[in-house]
Structure 1
Amino acid sequence: MTQFTLLFASILGALAVIFGAFGAHALKKLLSKDQLRSFETGVKYQMYHAIVLLLIGFNFNLETASEKYMMYSFMAGIVLFSFSIYGLVISSAKNKKLRFLGPITPLGGLLLVCGWCLLFYSILGTT
C-alpha cells in the first residue's frame, strides 16, 4: 500500500512538471490569461498534493481504515480536481467546452478537504 502511494505520488509529481511546462509554453498562445491561470491552479494543486502523498507514504503505514481513506481521498481528489480543470480549460480554448466536467472540479476539491481532515484525524490518533 505504501509503495503504491509513493509510485502514484511520483507519477503525479512528474505529470505536474510536464503539464506546467506544457501550459507555460505550448498553451500560452492558445489560452487567455484567465484560462492559463485556471490551468496553473490545477498544476499547483496537483503538485502540492503529490508532495502530501509522498509525505503520507513515508510517514504512515496505511494500515488503518482512516489512513487508507485519507490516501484514496487525496488520490481521487487530485485526479478529479486537477484533471477536470485541464479538461475544462483545453476544451473551452477549442470552443468545445466539456460542461460535464464543471461539477467534477468541486467534487475533487471536497475529496481533497476530506483527505486533509482524515490526515488531521490520523495525526490525533498517533499522539
Structure 2
Amino acid sequence: MAFPNSSTPLLPRNSTFVTPSLLWKAGAILATTGMIAGAFGSHGLKRRPGITPDSLTAWQTAAHYAIFNGLALFMVSMHPRFSTHKFAGPAIAGGGFVFSGSIVALVLWKLKFLGPITPLGGIFMIAGYITLAL
C-alpha cells in the first residue's frame, strides 16, 4: 500500500460536483453559523420585540442542528467512501441549511409559509444519514 503524498491525495477526487473540500466548507459554514446563531440567541435575540420562550427554543434547536450537521460534514468529508457520495453529503448539507435556515426566518421575520419547509430539511438530513448506514 502506498502512502499518500503531494502527488497522491488521501481522498481521490473524481469529476463529480461533490468533493471532500466542498463538504468540508459546507460543514465549516454550518458550524460557524450555528455558533453565531447560538450566541445571538443567548444575548441579542431576547431583546427583540415579539420573541417568546417558544421562539427562543426553536432558535436554539436551529443553532444546535447547524453545529451538529457541520461537525458531521467534517467527518463525512474525511471518509474515503462517503466524501464523494452523490447523495449523503449534499442531503445532510442541504437539509441542514433548509432546516436551520427556515427556523431562523420563522423566528426573525415571521415568514409562516416556511413552516412546512422545515420538516423537509429534516427529512433530507435523515435521508443523508440513513444513506451513510447503507
Question: For 1:26, which of 11, 34, 44 is the aligned residue?
Answer: 44
TM-score (norm 1): 0.84
- AA paired with 1:7? K
TM-score (norm 2): 0.80
> Which structure has the larger Rg over C-alpha atoms?
2
> What secondary structure, in the 3-state scheme, does the structure 2 residue paired with 1:28 have?
helix
Aligned residues: CA RMSD: 1.1
1:68 deviation in Å?
2.0
Instruction: Determine whether 1:111 maps to 2:124.
Output: yes
Find runs of 4+ consecutive structure 1 residues off by over 2 angstroms.
60-63
Q: Which runs of 5+ in 1 are unaligned?
A: 92-96, 122-127
Output aligned runs, 1:1-127, within 5 Å: 1-30=19-48, 31-61=51-81, 62-63=83-84, 67-91=85-109, 97-121=110-134
Mapped partners of 2:86, 2:117: distance in 1: 22
Encode CA deviations 1:99-122: one digit per residue, 9 max, x unaligned. Answer: 21011100000001101110101x
1:36 deviation in Å?
0.3
- AA paired with 2:65? Y
Mapped partners of 2:80, 2:113: distance in 1: 36
Encode CA deviations 1:82-102: one digit per residue, 9 max, x unaligned. Answer: 0000000112xxxxx212101
Which structure's residues are more often helix, by fraction? 1
> What secondary structure, in the 3-state scheme, does the structure 1 residue paired with 2:46 have?
coil
